[in-house]
Structure 1
Amino acid sequence: MDYAGLDYRNIRFPVDRPLTEAERAARYHQKKPSSAPPMDFLSVIRFNSSYIDIVDRWYPIKGFNTWFGVCVILLSAGGGAGIYSALFFSGRTAPVEMVDWIGLSFLTPLFLALVWGGWWLIRTECGRLTHYPMRLNRKTRQVHFFRQNGTILTVPWDSLFLTLGREKSPLSGTTYDLRAHVLDADGETVRESFSLGYPSLLGNAESIDKFWAFLQPYMEAKDGVERTWRHLKESTGYLMPVDGRKEGWRWSIVQNYAWTGHWPWLQLIGSPVLGLNAIGRMFAMWTSKVPKWPDEVERESQVDADDPYVLTWRDNGPIGWWELYWPLICTVIGVGGFVGVIGWIVSGLWR
């Protein structure tokens, strides 16, 4: 999946480099609005007149690395155990020949490397933070960002170099995000980068224009708070239920299938993968900690007691059939079918 920029053991966006011409050409200027229709792409956690909290790039797709890593470990460990069992514990009378030892000398490190790789994939999502929120403070004009190591980056909104980010992955193809660069004093050298917005696996360059049309007015327009509040109330209806809590299993199902929401038939066809992804997402959320903003950030983010524009996940409308119950059925069908096929294969091997 699209895990570009994940800063786990130094896999991140390229930094300590000059801006490219492509980045300059695709720049989004803070004072320049977009004419595209606004879309938030299920990214908002909390909203009010003082600040807006949004989720990170990896939150929508969380779960893939978990279940895929488990499969890699099981297949690798099972393959290694099968080979050793056949050679040493199957009751065979023929001696272990030199060619067998040579094969083991190559296969054993390979299986161990695959097991380590599967564990590494699992650790990119499990036992960490449930998500890595970003806070855009309209009043102080500061952006606060959770790094993957749990530290906080605070940078002025007006100093960010915002541009169209492109990444390529063998599994997801080309994906796009609203990329935020923190520049050195020379205004040319990229010192740190993060994704400020991610439209989904099916997003394109135009999707970033739509997200910018949603985000830019909140920080820049005189009536930005009311416009953004109206959009969230009338156009989407859902804020992410991770404000000071872990998402529940229901929302793990909803979020996991959200990017395929217009194609129920695709959800059923893809249910073996999507279902496993939902289970992986639940496990990753269960094993991770909820991020907490430090006191100094909270002190700068005071909300007026009579603020009429406060929105959280508690203001969400009811989750409908096609958002939850149909994906839940697909999950049961997909995971059940996958387990059945694996059981059939294993039983065939042990006959």
Structure 2
Amino acid sequence: MDYAGLDYRNVRFPVNRALTEAERASRYNQGQRGRATPMDFLSVVKFNSEYMDLVDRWYPIKGFNVWLGGCVLLTSIGMLFAIYGGVFFSGRTAPVEVVDWVGIVGLTPLFLCLAWAGWWLIRTECGRYTHYPIRLNRKSRQVYFFRQDGTVLTVPWESLFLTLGESKSPLAGTTYDLRAHVLDDDGETVRESFSLGYPSPLGNAQSIDKFWAFLQPYMEAEGGVERTWHHLKGNTGYLVPVDNRREGWRWSIARSFMLGAHWPYLQLLFSPFLGLNALGRMLAMSTSKIPQWPEEVERANPEEPDDPYRLTWRDNGPLGWWELYWPMLCTVIGVGAFVGALGWIVSTLWR
């Protein structure tokens, strides 16, 4: 859907380039308070007086590549079986003609390439990490980014060039994130980039203003810890349940349907896609590793056990009807409709 910066082989955002004028014009300056209504967009994993952990930009849409790749892979394999079965194992008495060989020679490489593409899509999410956390330490002024290859980038908060990031996707269109650039000593050349915040594929540029208004006070404002704690406790009620664990199947369903949280009828309408996304998300999570911060990072980020502002997923309120049970029902209906439609198509083709 919107996997800018993510690749099976660890390809990220373009680097070793100069800052663009658009990036300069849309910069978020440290020390400049956001004026929008603060929103965290369900991105916080762990919170305390010392640091805050966030999920990466690919976490909200995890599962999409799995089910899409699975459909491409299974369709390609099915077509290959159909072609070879129809020519060699259908019980026909006529000899294999030239046109049959032409079809086999022409279509076999095509479907093999499609099968490889489907597997590639699956591997962008399965067998990797459940998420790629970002840690912001308010006291030491350090930002830690867990790279896709398992290494960690450590950079001072004040040295980051923060700007409005834009990405283009054939399915999602233009999407936005809070992009963090690590610059060379010349202050012009981008050496590394990562996404510090991502609302959703449905977010707009104003969504990034809201996320900045949530993030900046915690890192810079006097009383920012208490203000952010009240926001998390009162406005959202949920922290992402991936702190030293894989998310459970219930959260996989709930998170997949949260894109349409305010429109239950749209959740039902798009339940075949969202339900498949939930199943793909479960598979991706169950096959992926849990990210672990290196020991030196943990030592540099001590957590006080009696911290009154400490929050984790264990402090979440219960998921209610519209957050969990309605999405569960939609998943059953949507996946059932998809399987039924697939069965009808297969039976029609085999007649």
Is the Cα–Cα contact under 8 Å of residues 8 and 120 in structure 2 kept in the other structure? no
Alignment of 1:224 with 2:224, yes or no, is: yes
Is the Cα–Cα contact under 8 Å of residues 45 and 239 in structure 2 kept in the other structure? yes
Q: 1:182 maps to which residue?
A: 182
Is the Cα–Cα contact under 8 Å of residues 63 and 284 in structure 2 kept in the other structure? yes
Q: State the Cα distance separating 1:11 from its structure 2 match.
A: 3.5
Aligned ranges 1:244-263 → 2 under 5 Å: 244-263=244-263
Alignment of 1:2 with 2:5, yes or no, is: no
Q: State the Cα distance separating 1:94 from its structure 2 match.
A: 2.1
Give a deviation string over 1:51-93, Cα, whole Å, max 9, x none: 0000000000000100111110110011111011111111222
Give a deviation string over 1:257-302, Cα, whole Å, max 9, x none: 1121000000000000000000000111011111111110000111
Alignment of 1:165 with 2:161, yes or no, is: no
Q: 1:30 maps to which residue?
A: 30
Q: State the Cα distance separating 1:158 from its structure 2 match.
A: 0.7
Q: 1:144 maps to which residue?
A: 144
Q: 2:50 maps to which residue?
A: 50
Q: State the Cα distance separating 1:7 from its structure 2 match.
A: 3.9
Q: TM-score, normalised by structure 2?
A: 0.98
One-letter amino acid of the counterpart of residue 296, structure 1: E
Q: Show structure 1 runs of 5+ residues with no match.
A: none
Q: Counterparts of 1:72 and 1:346 in 2: how far apart (Å)? A: 15
Alignment of 1:312 with 2:345, yes or no, is: no
Q: Counterparts of 1:41 and 1:126 in 2: how far apart (Å)? A: 24
Q: Counterparts of 2:16 and 2:100 in 1: how far apart (Å)? A: 49
Q: Counterparts of 1:103 and 1:89 in 2: how far apart (Å)? A: 16
Give a deviation string over 1:148-185, Cα, whole Å, max 9, x none: 11111111111110000011111111110000011111
Give a deviation string over 1:234-272, Cα, whole Å, max 9, x none: 110000010010100111111111121000000000000
Q: 2:289 maps to which residue?
A: 289
Q: Counterparts of 1:21 and 1:271 in 2: how far apart (Å)? A: 41
One-letter amino acid of the counterpart of residue 336, structure 1: G
Q: TM-score, normalised by structure 1?
A: 0.98
Q: State the Cα distance separating 1:10 from its structure 2 match.
A: 4.5
Identity %: 74
Secondary structure of 1:30 counterpart? coil
Q: Counterparts of 2:116 and 2:304 in 1: how far apart (Å)? A: 50
Q: Counterparts of 2:200 and 2:80 in 1: how far apart (Å)? A: 37
One-letter amino acid of the counterpart of residue 15, structure 1: V
Q: State the Cα distance separating 1:97 from its structure 2 match.
A: 2.0
Aligned ranges 1:28-107 → 2 under 5 Å: 28-107=28-107
Secondary structure of 1:182 counterpart? strand
Moved over 3 A (4+): none
Q: Counterparts of 2:121 and 2:35 in 1: how far apart (Å)? A: 40
Q: Show structure 2 runs of 5+ residues with no match.
A: none
Aligned residues: 351
